[in-house]
Amino acid sequence: MEKMYKKAIAFLVVGIVIGVFGVLAIGWLQTHSTKKVVVFAGAAAAPVYKEAASLFEGKYGVKVELRLGGSGSVLSAMKIAKIGDVFIPGSPEYLLLADKSGVVNLSQVQAKILAYLVPAIIVQEGNPKNITCLEDLAKPGVRIGIGDPESVCVGLYAKELLEENGLWEAVSPNIEVYAQSCEATAALIPVGAVDAIIGWHVFEVWTPDKADIVWITASKIPKISYIAGAVSAFTEDKASAEKFLDFLASEEVGEIWTKYGYFATEQEAKQHAPNAEIESVG
């Protein structure tokens, strides 16, 4: 009887210990498995973000939720819902808009520049329409696509580029598609929706077997852009948000930026547009 009593006590103690450790384990898993960084970003660097997010999750155990789209669209979504840990638009203009609208506070957090972008003409592989310059985009029968200037950074740059060179009125009748993100703009070429787009130079690298690049005469490019991110004013995990931004700027991810054709420095970008302006975010 005494042996049975001792066994019962032993089983009870073991059960309590297992129960305690089980509760602790569940608590640990809940704390760590649900940790995530929500990133609202312009799709100007969609391939980089997707690869980097996967690496970051594997390295730090923090899930990265990417919400990609036109820079203006994702900014509006953040502003309305008041959510998100990081904002990374495709051009500095939208970062300044985010500061004005309270989505980020650039007086309290520092924007981190990640890569530089140069406007270029992207055409079908082999350039069947023989497009060699901006003026050729006004030729009859040439189908053009650009990003929506109202919500997509590359669309804004495309329209300003044509206006600065006195070509908007001549080219706009040929514009058949106003795409809703950089990713959607780049996709117009490989699917054959248009003959040419005014996009970022990296779009050719995204689908090198289906696209060619026509560099725009340097003196005709009024502005070049850069991708910069900042921790949002809505973040609930500032440390993880900062860690992800630092990771995007690290040497490890730098190899991914290079693989997709992004320029690492202003000097590299200005080789294609030495007199172009670059917006400052301070």
Which domain CATH number covers 89?
3.40.190.10
Run means of pLDDT, 10 residues per run, the chain, 282 residues:
45 39 38 78 96 97 97 96 97 96 95 97 98 98 97 96 98 98 97 98 96 98 97 96 98 96 96 94 75
**Which residue segment(s) compose the domain that 70 sits in?**
35-116+227-264
| Residues 145 and 184 grouped into a single domain | yes
Q: How many structural domains comprise the chain?
A: 3
Q: Flag whether 189 is in a domain.
A: yes
- In a domain, residue 246? The reply is yes
Distances (CA, A) of 212 to 20, 159, 264, 274: 62, 21, 22, 23
Residues 140 and 198 in one domain: yes
Q: What's the rounded Cα separation, in Å, for the pair 160 and 145? A: 15
The owner of tokens 């329409």 is 129
**Pair (207, 143) in one structural domain:** yes
User: Where a domain ends, among 167, 189, 220?
Assistant: 220
Q: Does residue 213 share a domain with residue 92?
A: no
Q: Do residue 67 and residue 89 come from a single domain?
A: yes
Within a domain: 277 = no
Do residues 112 and 87 make contact, with C-beta atoms less than 8 angstroms apart? no
* Residues 57 and 85 placed together within one structural domain of the fold: yes
129 burial type by CB count under 10 A (0-12 exposed, 13-18 middle, 19+ buried):
middle
Per the domain annotation, does 75 fall within a domain? Answer: yes
In angstroms, the Cα distances linking 21 to 8, 24, 25, 57, 185 are 20, 5, 6, 26, 53
Indicate whether 194 and 236 sit together in one domain: no
Question: What pLDDT is attached to residue 78?
Answer: 97
Are both 123 and 216 inside the same structural domain? yes
Same-domain check for residues 127 and 81: no
Give the number of other Cβ atoms within 10 Å of residue 53's Cβ.
20
Domain assignment present for residue 99? The answer is yes
pLDDT at 132: 98
* 280 within a domain of the structure (yes/no): no
State the sign of the Cα–Cα–Cα–Cα dihedral 91, 172, 208, 74. positive
In a domain, 3, yes or no: yes
pLDDT of 282 reads 66
pLDDT at 281: 84
Q: What is the pLDDT of residue 31?
A: 43
Structural element, H or E, at residue 159: helix 153-164
Residue/partner pairs of 140-143 with CB below 8 Å, 24 or more apart: 142/174, 142/195, 142/196, 143/174, 143/176, 143/193, 143/194, 143/195, 143/196
Q: Is residue 276 part of a domain?
A: no
Phi, psi for 135 (deg, rounded to 5): -60, -30
- Within this chain, do residues 144 and 232 fall inside the same structural domain, yes or no? no
Let me know whether 210 and 247 are in one domain.
no
Among 149, 162, 177, smallest CA distance to 73 is for 149
Q: Which residue has the tokens 């690298």?
A: 205
Predicted TM-score of the model (pTM): 0.86
Q: In terms of domains, do 123 and 212 share one? A: yes
